[in-house]
Structure 1
Amino acid sequence: MCLKLFVPLLALVGASRGWQHKTADQVRSAIETNDYALVAFVMPNSPRCEALDPHWANVEDAIPAAVSIDCSSHYDFCLENDVASYPAIRFIRPDGTNKPFRGTRKGSEIGNFVNRMLRPVVTRVEKTTLSSFRSSDDVVAVAHFTPEETSLRDRFAELAEKLHDRHAFGLQDAAAGPGKITCWNNAIGAMQMSTQLEAVDAMEELVKRCAAPLVPRLTRRNEVEHLNSGKSLVYFFARVEDYLEAWTEAVLALAKKYHEYMTFVTVDLNEYPTMPASFGFPNEIEDAVALQNPATGQVYPYAGEITVDAVEEFINSISDGKVEPWDGVSLLQLVEVDEQGHTQVIASQAASQAGKEAAGENKPKDEAEKVEERTEKSEEKTEKSEDTAEEKNEGGQEPVKETKKTESEDVKTHDEL
Structure 2
Amino acid sequence: MHADACASLARRRAAIADEPGSIIVTGLGKAYKQYPTRWARLGEWVLPGGPRHGLKWVLRDISFTVAPGEAVGVIGMNGAGKSTLLKLITGTTRPTTGSVWMQGRVAALLELGMGFHPDFTGRQNVVMAGQLLGLAVEEIQELMPRIEDFADIGEYMDQPVRVYSSGMQMRVAFSVAIARRPDILIVDEALSVGDTYFQHKSFERIRQFREQGTTLLLVSHDKQAIQSVCDRALLLDGGSLLKEGRPEEIMDFYNALIAERENETGRQTVRLAETPDGKVQTTSGTGEATVADIVLLDETGQPVEVVDVGAPVTLQVRVLAKAAIPRLVLGYMIKDRLGQPMYGTNTHLKELPLENVAAGEEALFRFTFPMNLGPGTYSVATAIVSTETHLVNNYEWRDLALVFTVMNMRRPHFEGSAWLDPAIDIERT
User: What TM-score, normalized by structure 2, do the two folds share?
Assistant: 0.31
Higher helix share: 1
Task: Give 1 or 2 for the bigger CA radius of gyration.
Answer: 2
Higher strand share: 2
User: What TM-score, normalized by structure 1, do the two folds share?
Assistant: 0.31
